[in-house]
Chains A and B, each alone.
Chain A
Amino acid sequence: MRVVMLVLAAGVALAPAVVTAQPSRRPAVHAHSPAPPGGATSTGAPEGSIPPIDPVNHWDTTDSDELIAHIQRAALGPPGPAARAIAGTLLSGVTPRVAATGLDALGALGRVEGTEAVLRFLDHRRASLRRHAVAAAAGIHSRPLVRALEARLGDGDADVRAEAAAALGDHDVGDHASLAPLWSAFDRDLNAALRPDGSQLAHNACVSIAKIGTVEDIDRLLGYLRRAPFGTMSDAFRAALERQDIPEATKLRIVQSVGDLATIEARAFLLTYANPRGHAPAPLAEAARTAAAHIGEPSP
């Protein structure tokens, strides 16, 4: 993260690069991460002409501190060559500390040249490095990486899959094809979570669905109001209510459905949404106030 901050401070552009490459180093026997329901795979379809990254250490050292310094300096230079150099070095086999730094840098650079290395690290045996790779994949969000993020919803590590779910809801990361795997993850985790507040995967998947889903997806989420923890649902609805591309009628259904719950939490949610300092359109704010009024004050 410190590297990311450093890179950010240096003005490295975070805007996603145009995805033009589909790396495939071992087409004959390359492993495919298990595809989640919905049929996505970790590698996706070929997209362009970025040449494969050679797994070569671009700096003449194997010392971790020196490599980290090289990566940080490279991240300040031209982003394309930097991403190629970092990706090649990571693929040549480095210590976990160097790998984490490199992945953070690739995510911050957001260059498609980093795709191949990030893909490889999404399948790394260390969950900690897969988490760095998830963050990097969100930064690059080339199509193969988005498909790979969807595959990580089935990861054996709870943090990895929760962070993959959150990443798919990030701006311009998840797409329409991501919705089916997100729904599957949400349903799966909703049934498995033992905690009263649900699990992080269910929460993040639900919120991501609300962020990137269609009106139909939002309506479908309303059906979970009494099944899923309210904390999860309220975060998801908050995300949906903030979206500009969701019609007011749909947002009104959210307000009314939450109001129908008639719980203290629902009332608090509605009043927060109706707060005059918020960004809720007037009709929706009024509807939220009205629904909250019907619930009434909680007993002291």
Chain B
Amino acid sequence: MTRAIALVSVLVFVGCGTASRYPAFDLQYPASSSAALAFVLARVQTAPTAETSAVAVLLPTPPAQGFTVVELPSGRRLGQVGAPVDGRPVVLGDLVLAHVHNTVTAWSLEGIQRWSVPDGGGLALDGAARDGDRVVITLGGMGVTQRDGALVIVDARTGAASTRLRVVHALGSPAAVGGYAVVPWDGQNLSLFDLDGGAEVARVRSRDDVISFARREGPALYFGARALYRFAPDDASGERAAAVPYTFTHEGIPGTPPFSRDGYIAARGGIDARGRVRLAWRPDPSLAGAGVTDATVYAVFYRDVFALDAASGAVRWAYVHPTDIAGVEVVHGGLVLVDEQGRAAMLAAADGRAAWRADLGASVAQAVFQLPLEFVPPSNGGDAPRGRVDGLLDAAGGTDTRLLPAQIFAVRALAAMDLPEATRALVAIVDHRSFPRDLRAAAGDALAHRTTGADAMIEALDTHYNYVRQTEAPAVGLLARGIAAAHDTHGVAALVSHLDDPATPMAELPPLVAALRELNDPAALPALVDFVRFYHADVGAVPPVGGGDAIDDRQGPDQDLLSAAMEQAVLAIAHMGSAADQRVLDDLLADPNTPQSVRVATAHARGGHAETTEETPDGEPVHHDPTPPTFHVPPAQLSGDDINDAFAPQREALLACLDNAPSRPAQVRMEFFYASDGTVSHVTVIPAAFQPCMAPIAERVRLPVSLVGREIGTYNFNTTAP
């Protein structure tokens, strides 16, 4: 009886009181109570779900126009439209809606135009939803800051408008369920309008989050932007903590896609990067709260798909498609995709295998789906099982330069796997000289932290350069770092073999010798002693065979690298060597042909000071303070993370450069040279307006020491988020 009275009072509140006192979208409209939201929820949960066809709407590659509707999984063409659609269509049961010219037009799945409504003058289609025979359309499309929108409710059969509201608000992507139009607006509001009269009957106002979309999934209503909320009475507080949304905030996802498409920005109709670099997920109404289907979030990056654990963000599998993916939709048990050549597939959520494939026979710029959550195509994929490591290795490989962020993401995922196979995969990446240097450096950095799988690194060192055999030298320096990190002395012989191999690039020698030093294995001593003895005086020109002027065939940086390697060797000999070995160091000190830096290191190692030939301008001898031995081998070059970390302390100073700027870019790009000692120079700032302020700050940054001679670095300063 008590519940009945309460329900009646809520009915009065929702159906009459508030609606009659405030016009729609009125800023004075109060946030609805839990009871009011409970009433709405009850209607949502009991609202009938219409049977819909499984279809894909395929937008052709420009300059072709229009779209094709294809039935899935059969691939049968249902209809085709040639109209110059200028936005992403929306499929609503047996209708396809799209913005064309100054209208929003509806076609049947067979391509027959049903009706058309004006867009209100320059407004784009934000989104549309359908509840029975009513269609809710929101217009605007210029972003949440452009407060100009329209809400239109029309008859699905005739297009006759029952509600048409032009408002000074930004409207997001709507839902329609239980007789309500559910409309996000101005970033923080979610209003529910009576589909029959257009009156606002309830409102959720977020105090600490953003709302840009509403979405119905079976008996549940969801909304959110950076998080997924399941509509519930707890939303009345407007506080995120009370509502317990699902969030996916893991960093490093390739392309840094947002959690959801911005419902305030109209989606384009042609090739749209936002559709090709995105997170794909679908609410799972069978869960008690907010959550996603199969507990999986899919990260799509052009051709790559990574299935990520919805809670931890860990990579479950990786899949590389032959061509760019034009559209995806999540269903129970997997991800359905269509690529730009019109090939469809469904990747199993469990392992990424293609359980179903079909050729839709069209060139596709973008694909939009209407698929029931329980869509199950016939199994015809036939893909062999592939392990997670294999998939990640595929994703890390290739020569498509656009995919570098995904490749590095795959490398990091491999690095997170404490498996020998993962180490082997990282070794394969490091050794693949045609792969981008950043990628190989990332894999090398990962190897330097491995504790398992050193065998793979040692095996990789079995290969030497040979012109006749057409074998390339492995990435000795990176592998050496990994072996040293794993402290596997079984690698000493292999490392020594590359120390003596003239095909080992000079840049690889310092990390190689440093690794031998770190391994601290006396078995390396004879090689190290021989190395410093043999090369300590190797400075200067060589007369060619057969006579002629002597030529110095060693470039400046190469001599520095050789000296750096000898310095490391000297330290190792001083630490491990016998008295006879120490005498070799004394011979080095006594030989004036020994490079100064090696003499200094030797003197330091022997506990004395090197005689110097360098003088100050005043004629005083220069004494070098040798760098104390470090047990970290400098990287061959710096990674993006190294640069980001080094710039981080300057963030506030850089942000101050944006004060009073006429426009505040989301990102400022800085390109510069950096040297092996980490100094930054020749900074170019884009946009150039910030050059005078930011360049001096960037030049104060000191990057980590590396083995580069002089390298170009890039720092993308994100002005919106740290």
B481 interface contact, C-beta 8 A: no
Q: How large is the interface on A (under 10, 10 to 19, 20 to 34, 35 or more residues)?
A: 35 or more
Q: At the interface with chain A, which of B210-218, B522-530, B653-661?
A: B522-530
Q: A29-B496, A30-B500, A156-B502 are in contact. Are A93 and B536 (CB under 8 A)?
A: yes
B464 interface contact, C-beta 8 A: yes
Please indicate the chain A residues that have their CB under 8 angstroms from the CB of B350 in the complex. Answer: none
Question: From residue A230, how far is it (CB to closest CB) to chain B in Å?
Answer: 24
Q: Mark B482-523, 1 if CB is under 8 A from A, else 0.
A: 000000000011001111111100100000000000000001
Q: How many A-B residue pairs have CB under 8 A?
A: 141
A184, B466: Cα distance in complex, Å: 12
B538 lies within 8 A of A62 (CB): no
A49, B470: Cα distance in complex, Å: 37
A277 interface contact, C-beta 8 A: no
B593 interface contact, C-beta 8 A: yes
B527 lies within 8 A of A132 (CB): no
Q: At the interface with chain A, which of B58-66, B176-184, B219-227, B541-549?
A: B541-549
A to B CB contacts below 8 Å, 16 in the list:
A1-B547, A28-B526, A30-B527, A34-B471, A62-B590, A93-B532, A93-B535, A93-B538, A96-B541, A97-B541, A125-B535, A125-B562, A127-B553, A128-B542, A153-B467, A181-B468
A62 lies within 8 A of B593 (CB): yes
| Residue in contact with B545 in the complex, picked from A55, A62, A131, A188, CB distance below 8 Å | A131
Closest to A27 in B: B526
B540 lies within 8 A of A96 (CB): yes
A209, B459: Cα distance in complex, Å: 35
A79, B542: Cα distance in complex, Å: 25
B539 interface contact, C-beta 8 A: yes
B533 lies within 8 A of A55 (CB): yes
Please indicate the chain A residues that have their CB under 8 angstroms from the CB of B492 in the complex. Answer: 29
Please indicate the chain A residues that have their CB under 8 angstroms from the CB of B272 in the complex. Answer: none
A134, B545: Cα distance in complex, Å: 10
Closest to A33 in B: B501
B506 lies within 8 A of A125 (CB): yes
Closest to B465 in A: A156
Closest to A205 in B: B468
Q: A95-B593, A128-B544 are in contact. Are A31 and B499 (CB under 8 A)?
A: yes
Question: From residue B472, how far is it (CB to closest CB) to chain A in Å?
Answer: 10
A32 lies within 8 A of B497 (CB): yes
Question: From residue B245, how far is it (CB to closest CB) to chain A in Å?
Answer: 59
B466 lies within 8 A of A2 (CB): no
B550 lies within 8 A of A93 (CB): no
A284 interface contact, C-beta 8 A: no
Within 8 A of A (CB), among B533-575: 533-547, 550-554, 562
Please indicate the chain B residues that have their CB under 8 angstroms from the CB of A99 in the complex. Answer: 542
Please indicate the chain A residues that have their CB under 8 angstroms from the CB of B499 in the complex. Answer: 31
A129 interface contact, C-beta 8 A: yes
A101, B545: Cα distance in complex, Å: 10
Question: From residue A28, how far is it (CB to closest CB) to chain B in Å?
Answer: 6
Please indicate the chain B residues that have their CB under 8 angstroms from the CB of A127 in the complex. Answer: 502, 553
Within 8 A of B (CB), among A127-163: 127-132, 134-135, 153-156, 161, 163
B592 interface contact, C-beta 8 A: yes
Please indicate the chain B residues that have their CB under 8 angstroms from the CB of A130 in the complex. Answer: 502
| Residue in contact with B497 in the complex, picked from A25, A31, A64, A93, CB distance below 8 Å | A31
A188, B466: Cα distance in complex, Å: 11
A181, B527: Cα distance in complex, Å: 28
Q: A2-B547, A126-B553, A132-B545 are in contact. Are A96 and B468 (CB under 8 A)?
A: no
A109, B500: Cα distance in complex, Å: 26
B537 lies within 8 A of A154 (CB): no
Q: How large is the interface on B (under 10, 10 to 19, 20 to 34, 35 or more residues)?
A: 35 or more
Please indicate the chain B residues that have their CB under 8 angstroms from the CB of A135 in the complex. Answer: 545
Within 8 A of B (CB), among A11-36: 25-26, 28-34, 36
B3 interface contact, C-beta 8 A: no
| Residue in contact with A1 in the complex, picked from B502, B536, B546, B551, CB distance below 8 Å | B546
Within 8 A of B (CB), among A24-68: 25-26, 28-34, 36-37, 55, 62, 64
B402 interface contact, C-beta 8 A: no
A94 interface contact, C-beta 8 A: yes
A170 interface contact, C-beta 8 A: no
Could you list which residues of chain B lie within 8 angstroms of chain A, going by C-beta atoms?
464-471, 492-493, 496-503, 506, 523-524, 526-527, 530, 532-547, 550-554, 562, 587, 590-593
Q: A25-B530, A29-B526 are in contact. Are A126 and B554 (CB under 8 A)?
A: yes
Question: From residue B508, how far is it (CB to closest CB) to chain A in Å?
Answer: 12
A210 interface contact, C-beta 8 A: no
10 further A-B pairs in the complex, CB-CB below 8 A; given A32-B497, A93-B534, A132-B545: A30-B496, A34-B466, A123-B500, A123-B502, A126-B538, A154-B467, A154-B468, A156-B465, A188-B467, A188-B470
B468 lies within 8 A of A185 (CB): yes
A100 interface contact, C-beta 8 A: yes
Please indicate the chain A residues that have their CB under 8 angstroms from the CB of B493 in the complex. Answer: 28-29
Please indicate the chain A residues that have their CB under 8 angstroms from the CB of B530 in the complex. Answer: 25-26, 55
A82, B607: Cα distance in complex, Å: 38
Closest to B470 in A: A188
Please indicate the chain A residues that have their CB under 8 angstroms from the CB of B523 in the complex. Answer: 28-29
Please indicate the chain B residues that have their CB under 8 angstroms from the CB of A279 in the complex. Answer: none
A128 lies within 8 A of B467 (CB): no
Closest to A57 in B: B587
A31 lies within 8 A of B496 (CB): yes
A171 interface contact, C-beta 8 A: no
Please indicate the chain A residues that have their CB under 8 angstroms from the CB of B547 in the complex. Answer: 1-2
Please indicate the chain B residues that have their CB under 8 angstroms from the CB of A93 in the complex. Answer: 532-538, 591
Question: From residue A157, how far is it (CB to closest CB) to chain B in Å?
Answer: 8
A35, B502: Cα distance in complex, Å: 14
Please indicate the chain B residues that have their CB under 8 angstroms from the CB of A94 in the complex. Answer: 537, 593
A97 lies within 8 A of B542 (CB): yes
A253, B382: Cα distance in complex, Å: 58
Question: From residue A105, how far is it (CB to closest CB) to chain B in Å?
Answer: 13
A135, B527: Cα distance in complex, Å: 26
A129, B534: Cα distance in complex, Å: 13
Closest to A135 in B: B545
| Residue in contact with A26 in the complex, picked from B527, B546, B590, CB distance below 8 Å | B527
Within 8 A of B (CB), among A83-126: 91-97, 99-101, 120, 123-126
Q: A25-B530, A93-B533, A156-B502 are in contact. Are A129 and B469 (CB under 8 A)?
A: no
- Of the listed residues A30, A31, A123, A154, the one surrounded by the most CB atoms of chain B closer than 10 A to its CB is A31
| Residue in contact with A36 in the complex, picked from B466, B498, B540, B553, CB distance below 8 Å | B466
A30, B498: Cα distance in complex, Å: 10
Please indicate the chain B residues that have their CB under 8 angstroms from the CB of A185 in the complex. Answer: 467-468
Please indicate the chain B residues that have their CB under 8 angstroms from the CB of A31 in the complex. Answer: 496-501, 527
Question: From residue B537, how far is it (CB to closest CB) to chain A in Å?
Answer: 5
Closest to B497 in A: A31
A181, B543: Cα distance in complex, Å: 29
Question: From residue B506, how far is it (CB to closest CB) to chain A in Å?
Answer: 7
Please indicate the chain B residues that have their CB under 8 angstroms from the CB of A92 in the complex. Answer: 533, 587
Closest to A94 in B: B537
Question: From residue A24, how far is it (CB to closest CB) to chain B in Å?
Answer: 11
Please indicate the chain B residues that have their CB under 8 angstroms from the CB of A33 in the complex. Answer: 464, 501
Closest to A28 in B: B523
A1 lies within 8 A of B545 (CB): yes
Q: A34-B469, A36-B468, A155-B467 are in contact. Are A95 and B537 (CB under 8 A)?
A: yes
Q: A25-B530, A125-B502, A127-B553 are in contact. Are A62 and B537 (CB under 8 A)?
A: yes
A123 lies within 8 A of B539 (CB): no
Closest to B527 in A: A29
A2, B501: Cα distance in complex, Å: 29
| Residue in contact with B469 in the complex, picked from A36, A91, A123, A132, CB distance below 8 Å | A36
A91, B562: Cα distance in complex, Å: 18
A29, B516: Cα distance in complex, Å: 12
Please indicate the chain B residues that have their CB under 8 angstroms from the CB of A132 in the complex. Answer: 542, 545
A95 lies within 8 A of B467 (CB): no
Please indicate the chain A residues that have their CB under 8 angstroms from the CB of B546 in the complex. Answer: 1
Closest to A120 in B: B534
Question: From residue B601, how far is it (CB to closest CB) to chain A in Å?
Answer: 16
A118, B467: Cα distance in complex, Å: 21
